[in-house]
């Protein structure tokens, strides 16, 4: 299959031809990668079991890992979910359209192929205009997991999608770089208390604001309610470690570890805050086997979230066998950022003091 990359801009008039073509692909059971405000999605018709099967195949994703169904009208939630609790409407009012996914009881119309065999369905109403035009044009119900191959960092540009999905999807809609760069927050509304299953841009405090009472699933639960959380995610090819500790102990430890690798002529990468970046450069001047990435200032957590996945991909391209990252435990997005980093590192943490 040839994968076509086409541009869209989010203006319904200008995008009309692209959307017509993309919708034709979806209605015929094909796949299209699309931008959203979180990360790029790998889209198929959520109500067509064979489309969902194709998504799993294209991603190389285990079929017990359910897909998120994207809608473009609040009312459409009621066509795919039943016994919808008041909490869902409260959250929708505050945070939809936006980067929040709600787990609800599914209606029969949603095939088990889409929900990974579960009686619940994950529903999201994205804010990105290109995504919304596309969902509307394609019949209103789009299954779209992140567009990366299973286990790889999520895609934040159309180029990343092409790296992972060339020949596996009919079309990639290039809407430029995504805004947020981390996947949606997932909240389960099917139990007693609303429970956060995956951290994201809509953080705990914002959810508490809307609902009052919210619990969080422990990060290393053995049988997580969001089945995807049990898989190793975002895994770079090298061995990755996260260094934690107070102040300058962190860079001292990282410099010490990197120096050991260099003495063995091994390739290393460092993910650095902007504040410590120059210090690594000064230490490893003229050492071509060290790549240091400035992920942004710890004062700018949106930038850190935005750059994280792209940096993990770039590191793979350098062929680094070892990767050291600082910890970015920032106030608003720290939990979401660290969740991705811990998974990327397979929970490999070094304490520097
Ligand atoms: P991704 O689309 O790659 O962001 O992954 C979707 C995530 O949503 C996966 O980790 C799934 O485990 C989770 N998810 C999707 N549907 C459900 C569901 N019905 N119940 C719990 N988690 C879900
Ligand atoms: Mg994913």
Q: Which of 201, 227, 340 to mutate to test the pocket of ligand 1 (most atoms within 8 A of CB)?
A: 227
CA–CA dist 61, 114 (Å, integer) = 12
DSSP state of 297: -
Instruction: Give the pLDDT of residue 247.
Output: 85
The architecture of the domain spanning 4-211 is Alpha-Beta Complex (3.90)
Instruction: Give the pLDDT of residue 287.
Output: 87
For the chain, give the mean pLDDT: 95
Instruction: Give the pLDDT of residue 232.
Output: 66
Per-residue confidence band for 353, with pLDDT thresholds at 50, 70 and 90: confident
CA–CA dist 344, 353 (Å, integer) = 23
**Per-residue pLDDT tens for 206-240?**
999 999 989 998 777 778 888 777 766 788 899 99
**Closest ligand (CA of 230):** 1
In the block, residue with structure tokens 């619940």:
120
What's the gap in Å between 260 CA and the centre of ligand 2?
A: 34
Give how far the C-alpha of residue 92 lies from the chain's centroid of Cα atoms, to the nearest Å: 20
Q: CATH 3.90.870.10 residue ranges in the chain? A: 4-211
- First and final C-alpha spacing in the chain: 53
Select from 3.30.70.330, 3.40.50.970, 3.40.50.720, 3.40.50.11030 the CATH code of 239-351.
3.40.50.11030
**Residue closest by Cα to atom 23 of ligand 1:** 226
CA–CA dist 102, 91 (Å, integer) = 9
Tokens of 300: 């700018």
CA-based torsion, 123, 128, 133, 137: positive or negative: negative
Atom in ligand 1 nearest the alpha carbon of residue 118: 19
Phi, psi of 29 (to 5 degrees): 90, 10
Instruction: Give the pLDDT of residue 327.
Output: 97
**CA–CA distance from 147 to each of 155, 158, 245 (Å)?**
6, 10, 34
45-49, 117-121, 218-222: which has the minimum mean pLDDT?
218-222
pTM: 0.96
Residues in the chain, how many? 353
Ligand 1 environment, Cβ below 6 A: 65-66, 68, 103, 115, 118, 120-122, 145-146, 183, 186, 197, 225-229
Minimal CA–CA distance to 219: which of 243, 195, 238? 195
**Residue closest by Cα to atom 21 of ligand 1:** 226
With beta carbons less than 8 A apart as the criterion, state whether 80 and 123 touch. yes
Residue 324's Cβ-side half-sphere holds a number of Cα atoms within 13 Å equal to 26
DSSP string, 170-211: SEEEE--S-SS-SPPEEEE-SSSS-EEEE--SS-HHHHHHHH
In 3-state terms, what secondary structure has residue 165? helix
Instruction: Give the pLDDT of residue 271.
Output: 98
């Amino acid at each position: 299959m040839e994968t076509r990359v086409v541009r869209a801009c989010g203006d319904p008039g200008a995008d009309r031809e692209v959307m017509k073509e993309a919708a034709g692909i979806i209605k015929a059971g094909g796949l299209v990668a699309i931008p959203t405000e979180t990360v790029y999605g790998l889209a198929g018709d959520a109500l067509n079991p064979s489309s969902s099967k194709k998504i799993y195949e294209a991603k190389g994703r285990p079929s017990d890992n359910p897909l998120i169904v994207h809608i473009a009208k609040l009312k459409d939630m009621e066509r795919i979910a039943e016994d919808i609790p008041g909490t869902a409407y409260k959250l929708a009012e505050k945070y939809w359209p936006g980067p929040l996914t709600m787990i609800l009881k599914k209606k029969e119309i949603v095939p088990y192929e889409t929900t990974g065999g579960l009686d619940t369905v994950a529903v999201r109403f994205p804010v990105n205009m290109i995504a919304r035009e596309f969902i509307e044009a394609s019949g209103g119900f789009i299954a779209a997991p992140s567009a990366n191959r299973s286990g790889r960092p999520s895609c934040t540009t159309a180029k990343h999608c092409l790296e992972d999905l060339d020949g596996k999807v009919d079309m990639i809609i290039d809407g430029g770089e995504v805004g947020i760069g981390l996947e949606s927050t997932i909240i389960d509304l099917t139990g007693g208390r609303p429970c956060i299953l995956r951290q994201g841009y809509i953080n705990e405090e914002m959810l508490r604001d809307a609902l009052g009472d919210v619990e969080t699933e422990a990060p290393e639960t053995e049988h997580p309610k969001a089945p995807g959380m049990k898989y190793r995610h975002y895994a770079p090819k090298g061995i990755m470690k996260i260094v934690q500790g107070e102040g300058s102990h962190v860079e001292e430890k990282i410099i010490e570890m990197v120096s050991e690798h260099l003495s063995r002529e091994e390739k290393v990468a460092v993910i650095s805050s902007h504040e410590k970046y120059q210090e690594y450069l000064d230490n490893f001047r003229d050492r071509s086997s060290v790549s240091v990435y400035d992920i942004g200032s710890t004062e700018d957590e949106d930038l850190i979230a935005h750059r994280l996945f792209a940096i993990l991909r770039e590191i793979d391209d350098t062929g680094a066998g070892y990767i050291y990252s600082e910890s970015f435990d920032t106030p608003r997005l720290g939990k979401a950022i660290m969740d991705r980093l811990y998974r990327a590192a397979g929970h490999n943490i070094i304490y520097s003091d």
